[in-house]
Amino acid sequence: MKVMIGMSGGVDSSVAAAVLRDAGHEVVGVTMRLWGGESDTGCCSVSDVDDARRVAQQLGIEHVIFNFSDDFETHVVAPYVESHAHGVTPNPCVECNRHLKFDRLAKRAELLGFDAVATGHHARVGHHEDGRRRLERGADREKDQSYVLHMVDEAGLAHTMFPIGHLTKAEVRDHATKLGLRTALKPDSQDVCFISRENGREHFLGHRIPLRRARVIDRSGEHVGEVDAVELVTIGQRRGLGLPGGGPVRYVIDVNLETPSDPTVIIGDADDLLVTSQECASLTWGTGPYEGEALAQTSAHGTPRPCVVTRIGIDRYRLDWKLRSARVAPGQSIVLYDPSDTWVIGGGTALAARP
Q: What is the pLDDT of residues 323-337, one digit of tens each?
A: 999 999 999 999 999
Backbone angles phi, psi at 174, to 5 degrees: -65, -40
Q: What is the pLDDT of residues 82-134, one digit of tens each?
A: 999 998 999 999 999 999 999 999 999 999 999 999 999 999 999 999 999 99
pLDDT at site 234: 94
Sorted by where each begins, the domain ranges of the chain are: 2-120+163-179, 210-268, 273-350
Say what percent of the chain tops pLDDT 90. Answer: 83
Query: Taking a C-beta distance cutoff of 8 angstroms, is the pair 65, 30 a contact?
Result: yes
Domain 273-350, CATH 2.60.260.20 — does that match?
no
Q: Which residues pair with 30 in a beta bridge?
A: 6, 64
Query: Taking a C-beta distance cutoff of 8 angstroms, is the pair 58, 181 a contact?
Result: yes
Q: What is the pLDDT of residues 33-47, one digit of tens each?
A: 998 766 555 555 678
Domain 210-268, CATH 2.30.30 — does that match?
yes
Which residue, 219, 255, 235, is CA-closest to 327? 235
Q: What is the pLDDT of residues 12-65, one digit of tens each?
A: 999 999 999 999 999 999 999 998 766 555 555 678 889 999 999 999 999 999
CATH superfamily of 2-120+163-179: HUPs (3.40.50.620)
Write out the catalytic residue numbers.
Answer: 96, 193
